[in-house]
Amino acid sequence: MRLHSHPASPFGRKVMVAAHELGIAERIRLDYRRVTPVEPNAAVVADNPLGKLPTLVLEDGRALFDSRVICEYLDQLCGGGRLFPAEPEARWRALRLQALGDGIMDAAVLARYETVLRPEELRWQAWIEHQKLKITRALDWLEPRVAELPEDGVDIGAISVGCALGYLDFRFGADGWRAGRPGLARWYERFAARPSMAATRPHDLQEAA
Ligand code: BEZ
């Protein structure tokens, strides 16, 4: 399998953390691509009409997107029920946390694009502030519910929230998301120490094709 991704993409990281947790990371070849909303990448568009990262290309040439679909596919490939619990209560808890983590990543990536991609004279400060407010509300909602995250194990909710917090550290470290959220900070410290997270630390890559 091939994965169109980028080492700074939190959604690409989410897929690779899932693959590491399932023990199949070595079956995925990473093709790093440079993609922005105003610079579609031809190689990605050839496999995904939305032109978005991550996109997984299977051995038979079929492509899967987005990260939710890819992660569920990988889980099924490994027998199912490991990252996406089958038991209804655990399943909806994990899926809701996945939606929260994905939403934080969406807002953070949009704020990042507005900060570094848009020409300075066109930057819209209110847009950035409202994306950041969305993140603040999501983290404040999660702090008293941190017990919903698995303490030692892993599921798709934990992976998504973990990658979202990792992206905030990577791109918005100065905003200090840990302040006033000791439960979440403690949970993330343990989660970030997992080998799957250590193996997928985000970084910039100028030469992505
Ligand atoms: C970033 O550089 O922050 C980034 C790169 C690819 C996808 C999303 C974000």
Q: Which of 109, 113, 168 to probe ligand 1 with, by most ligand atoms within 8 A of CB?
A: 109
Percent of the chain with pLDDT over 90: 93
> pLDDT for 102-149, tens place per residue?
999 999 999 999 999 889 899 999 999 999 999 999 999 999 999 999
pLDDT of residue 24: 98
Please state the domain extents for the chain. Answer: 2-79, 88-196
pLDDT at 208 over 70: no
pLDDT of residue 76: 98
Ligand 1 centroid–CA 79 distance in Å is 31
CATH fold for domain 2-79: Glutaredoxin (3.40.30)
Provide the CATH number for the domain formed by 88-196 in this structure.
1.20.1050.10
For residue 6, the ligand 1 atom closest to its alpha carbon is: 6
Assigned token pair, 39: 């610079």
**Of all protein residues, whose CA lies closest to atom 3 belonging to ligand 1?**
8
Confidence bin at 197 (pLDDT 50/70/90) = very high
The pTM is what?
A: 0.97
pLDDT average, residue stretch 27-33: 97
Whether ligand 1 lies within 6 angstroms of the CB of 163 is answered as no
How far apart CA 155 and CA 83 sit, in angstroms, is 4
> pLDDT for 73-115, tens place per residue?
999 999 999 999 999 999 999 999 999 999 999 999 999 999 9
Residue 84: closest CA among 93, 201, 17, 48: 93
How far apart CA 160 and CA 5 sit, in angstroms, is 16
pLDDT of residue 205: 86
pLDDT average, residue stretch 183-199: 98
Ligand 1 centroid–CA 112 distance in Å is 8
Q: Which residues fall within 8 angstroms of residue 113, CB to CB, at 6 or more apart?
A: 36, 37
Residue 71: closest CA among 61, 57, 59, 56: 56
